[in-house]
Structure 1
Amino acid sequence: MSAPSTTAASESAEASAHRRERRKEARPGELLDAALDLFVEKGFAATRAEEVAARAGVSKGTLFLYFPSKEELFKAVVRENLARVVHESAGELDSFEGPSDALLLHFLQQWWARYGATKASGISKLIISEASNFPELAVFFRDEVVEPGTALLRRVLERGIARGEFRPVPIDTTVHLILAPLLFLVLWKHSLGPCCDALARIEPEAYIAQHAELLLRGLRADAAPGTPDSPAPPEPKTP
């Protein structure tokens, strides 16, 4: 049997090198996917770096080549799965030309499609349950996700008011009222939801639609702001 030619051996070596390079380029994404799975399944404190590495099929040393600590790995997961979605949504706001009620409805629907319906929505439960034990991560989450997200909703409300499509409302309070049912939905999904029988289950799309209907009815420019017995609350003053 003749030995492989020099050309064939060279091509084989080059192909192997290309596969290794592709594998190297894929590793950060594979590590982030593995980390997201484990953070959602076990929480931040209970997840060990070696578990993430094993699930991604690499060594612990390889993990730390890309992410120097578990905290930095978590931050990368948040940036990839949450902060990126907020950034993309801000770009959509800049280019949206329709009425503000359609814009707000679009954002509510997209929030579920891009975040609530994904495994990444479990990060919200993780932050709430572990924030007091890891305040640095809580501050990071606030800076990267909460504040940009609330700023985005503020812009939508301010746009609608400026265009005469929404009635004047307390902006900060209204933002919280928009977000609270959404937060409840993901907490339900990752806690009581899987344990409830069919009668108690929540259909997310119907839930979002009903939330949007009630919200937009209250925001309409021709909606009554309140009655003498129940006036609209003033915007809280910053101390």
Structure 2
Amino acid sequence: MTDADSPTPKFRRRADARPDEVLDAALTLFGQKGYAATSVAEIAREAGISKGAVYLYFPSKQAILEGLVKRAVTPISARALEQAALAHGDLRTALPAILGVIAEAMNDPKVFAVPRIVLHEAVVAPEIAAFYRDAVLNMAMPAVEGLIAQGVARGELRPVDPEMTIRSLMGPVVIHIILSEVFGVTPKGGLDLKRLVDNHLDILLNGLFTPPGGDNA
């Protein structure tokens, strides 16, 4: 069977793949040069297509970045919330599941590259921070706040402030990334978000101090 006879001819498969090729090219260049210093023409050259072809799929450079966020980061929030739902309200199971999904995903360099770009470029391009907030944070944070509020209501948790609690939960992850990406302060073993999350959950669920008369296990 020839390409012409195939239900998915070569040229059609190529066209279907182009949005991802554009995103891959943009991810490479944004990581190398930064978002602000990269042009759509450069992205087109990196992707091996014309500048006009890029605009068939993405009307602007910001739309390309939005495409990267939607492809790499937004699904993480959805998976984390799915894991939380599978815990059926048991927060001792739900919280590790949520943070575990985030840590596992961020170990993928292509996934982690996107929040890294947002972090480095948000100061010079506030619209990037606004989009990331709307597409990711505003979806995930209220859902986790709801889990905290439900835990308080059924007596599983002490009467903590759900809004402040979600910030306390995610704060160590965020500052861990900022310390590495902005200040160059990285643990000896590398960023290793799983190691950070495991340590954070241990302190969160078991406390920091050895119980009086207890052991260190």
Secondary structure of 2:5's aligned partner: helix
Secondary structure of 1:80's aligned partner: helix
Ranges in structure 2 where 5+ consecutive residues have no aligned partner: 208-217
* Whole-Å separation in 2 of the counterparts to 1:210 and 1:52: 40
1:48-90 CA distances to partner (integer Å, 9 max, x unpaired)? 2122222222222211111011011111111111122213333
1:175 aligns with 2:187: no
Report the counterpart of residue 205 of structure 1 in structure 2. Answer: 194
Check whether the contact 2:68–2:114 (CA below 8 A) recurs between aligned residues. Answer: no
Report the counterpart of residue 91 of structure 1 in structure 2. Answer: 82
1:35 aligns with 2:26: yes
* Whole-Å separation in 2 of the counterparts to 1:177 and 1:48: 38
Check whether the contact 1:53–1:60 (CA below 8 A) recurs between aligned residues. Answer: yes
Secondary structure of 2:73's aligned partner: helix
1:107-141 CA distances to partner (integer Å, 9 max, x unpaired)? 11110112354333233343333323322222111
Choose between structure 1 and 2 for higher RCO, CA contacts under 8 A separated by at least 6 residues: 1
Which residue identity is paired with 1:161?
A: V
Check whether the contact 2:27–2:68 (CA below 8 A) recurs between aligned residues. Answer: yes
* Whole-Å separation in 2 of the counterparts to 1:217 and 1:185: 21
Check whether the contact 2:23–2:64 (CA below 8 A) recurs between aligned residues. Answer: yes
CA change 1:149–1:52 in 2 (3 A) is same
CA change 1:97–1:48 in 2 (3 A) is same
Report the counterpart of residue 205 of structure 2 in structure 1. Answer: 216
Secondary structure of 1:164's aligned partner: coil
CA change 1:45–1:23 in 2 (3 A) is same
Check whether the contact 1:32–1:76 (CA below 8 A) recurs between aligned residues. Answer: yes
CA shift for structure 1 position 204: 3.0
Check whether the contact 2:72–2:114 (CA below 8 A) recurs between aligned residues. Answer: no
CA shift for structure 1 position 167: 1.5
Count how many residue pairs are aligned between Structure 1 and Structure 2. 207
Return structure 1 stretches of 4+ with deviation > 6 angstroms: none
* 1:147 corresponds to which of 138, 147, 160: 138
CA change 1:125–1:52 in 2 (3 A) is same
Which residue identity is paired with 2:195?
A: A
Equivalent positions of 1:13-162 (< 5 A) are 13-14=4-5, 18-97=9-88, 99-162=90-153
TM-score (structure 1 length as normaliser): 0.74
Ranges in structure 1 where 5+ consecutive residues have no aligned partner: 1-7, 219-239
Equivalent positions of 1:4-15 (< 5 A) are 11=2, 13-14=4-5
Report the counterpart of residue 234 of structure 1 in structure 2. Answer: none
Check whether the contact 1:127–1:138 (CA below 8 A) recurs between aligned residues. Answer: yes
Which protein is bigger by CA-based radius of gyration? 1
| % identical aligned pairs | 29
* Whole-Å separation in 2 of the counterparts to 1:16 and 1:97: 44
1:187 aligns with 2:186: no
TM-score (structure 2 length as normaliser): 0.81
Which residue identity is paired with 1:67?
A: F
